[in-house]
């Protein structure tokens, strides 16, 4: 699903193995190892592993407990990309790969922040005094849209914990909009839906908050379930909503009642037997607050006399837990 878009993954920070009980207790090397459990059809996670080229990006700060954390101090780990190897060796490739927990002589802690970019193309950066952010652009082609995720911060660790694994819980920064179709009209098909929506935003990877939302563009949806081939949706004969749907990802925002959607559909003319193509412009009855991590489904209903939007339904974009790291 992209309702199904990406299901679950577990990626664990683990310490390198050696013969001591806990090498982390005295400045042990931090290494990164994935443990993946997934079942999905499209997006950031595929089949049984993170995709080649997709990347977990990590920031980590090491700070004195007497002083506390500050983004005015350069991060200890600064946007290190942990890229899963093409050989599927079970470890992340890191450059550089030598990062260490505080030693017992230090009174230091570490904070971890991370994000997942399946395309490894979204610019992420951090300037002194500011949290790391991603400059995200939403493609106007649904099949090319990127599901960007941010991780809940893991704070105040020093490697001496009984379980030194640092769990990362990944969250969707975006939302989805789906359209289903039903009709009592002969051979009715939904051909496309066009909307105008923001396609640029800055995402704070420490909490998923957005800024700089703007630059609205038209998005035309004419493929089913984020597919690549234009495929109309046929109305079921029993006048129930189609199981197929058109879909796009959205940057969270409020869709006002003044926003319009162009709905193109076809049907059979009873008098001539020919195919009629028509486009209707519809708006929402009330403003829709689109929140990150949700799927919004709008039913389109065509009758002999009208075409209308049904009341949107909202379902969480929550996927199956995969262990210590969950995408939710």
Which phi and psi (to 5°) does residue 102 adopt? -60, 150
- Alpha carbon separation from 52 to 35, 44, 115, 138, 154 (Å, rounded): 15, 10, 16, 22, 26
- The whole-number pLDDT of residue 39 equals 30
Question: What does pLDDT average to in each consecutive run of 10 residues of the chain (328 residues)?
Answer: 37 38 57 38 37 75 91 91 51 59 82 87 94 97 92 86 70 93 95 97 97 93 94 91 96 96 95 95 96 94 94 78 37
Report pLDDT for 328: 37
> What CATH number labels 175-315?
2.60.40
Q: What is the pLDDT of residue 27?
A: 67
CA–CA distance from 244 to each of 34, 224, 227, 252, 312 (Å)?
34, 6, 11, 24, 16
DSSP code of residue 46: B
- Residue 177 near residue 196, CB atoms below 8 Å: no
Task: Report residue 77: phi and psi, to 5°.
Answer: -110, 120
Give the residue extent of every domain in the chain.
11-172, 175-315
Tell me 142's DSSP state. G
With the CA atoms of 196, 199, 200 and 203 taken in that order, what torsion angle do they form, in degrees rounded to the nearest 10? 110
Predicted pLDDT at 98: 67
| 227, two tokens | 């597919």
> Using CA atoms, how far apart are residues 62 and 77, in angstroms rounded to an integer?
9
pLDDT of residue 97: 59
CA-CA-CA-CA torsion for 92, 227, 254, 306, nearest 10 degrees?
-170
pLDDT at 174: 94
**Residue 71: its H or E element:** none
Q: Which token pair is 88? A: 């599927």
């Amino acid at each position: 699903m992209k309702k199904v878009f990406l299901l679950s993954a577990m990626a664990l920070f683990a310490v390198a193995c050696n013969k001591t009980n806990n090498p982390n207790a005295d400045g042990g090397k931090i290494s990164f190892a994935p443990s993946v459990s997934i079942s999905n059809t499209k997006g950031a996670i595929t089949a049984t592993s993170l995709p080649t080229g997709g990347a977990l990006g990590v920031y980590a700060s090491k700070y004195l407990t007497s002083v506390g954390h500050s983004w005015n101090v350069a991060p200890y780990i600064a946007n290190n990309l942990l890229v899963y190897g093409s050989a599927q060796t079970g470890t992340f490739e890191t450059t550089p790969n030598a990062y260490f927990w505080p030693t017992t002589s230090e009174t230091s802690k570490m904070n971890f922040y991370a994000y997942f970019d399946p395309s490894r193309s979204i610019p992420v950066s951090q300037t002194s005094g500011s949290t790391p952010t991603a400059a995200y652009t939403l493609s106007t082609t649904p099949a090319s849209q990127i599901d960007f995720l941010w991780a809940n911060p893991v704070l105040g660790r020093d490697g001496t914990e009984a379980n030194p694994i640092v769990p990362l819980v990944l969250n969707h920064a975006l939302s989805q909009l789906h359209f289903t179709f039903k009709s009592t009209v002969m051979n009715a098909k939904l051909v496309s839906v066009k909307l105008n929506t923001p396609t640029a935003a800055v995402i704070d990877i420490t909490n998923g908050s957005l800024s700089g939302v703007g630059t609205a563009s038209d998005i035309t949806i004419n493929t089913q379930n984020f597919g690549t081939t234009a495929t109309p949706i046929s109305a079921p004969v029993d006048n129930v909503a189609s199981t197929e749907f058109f879909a796009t990802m959205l940057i969270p925002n409020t869709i006002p009642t003044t926003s319009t959607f162009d709905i193109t559909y076809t049907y059979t003319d009873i008098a001539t037997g020919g195919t009629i193509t028509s486009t209707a412009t519809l708006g929402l009855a009330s403003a829709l607050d689109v929140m990150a991590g949700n799927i919004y489904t709008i039913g389109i209903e065509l009758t002999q006399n009208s075409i209308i939007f049904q009341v949107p339904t909202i379902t969480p974009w929550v996927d199956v837990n995969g262990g210590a790291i969950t995408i939710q």
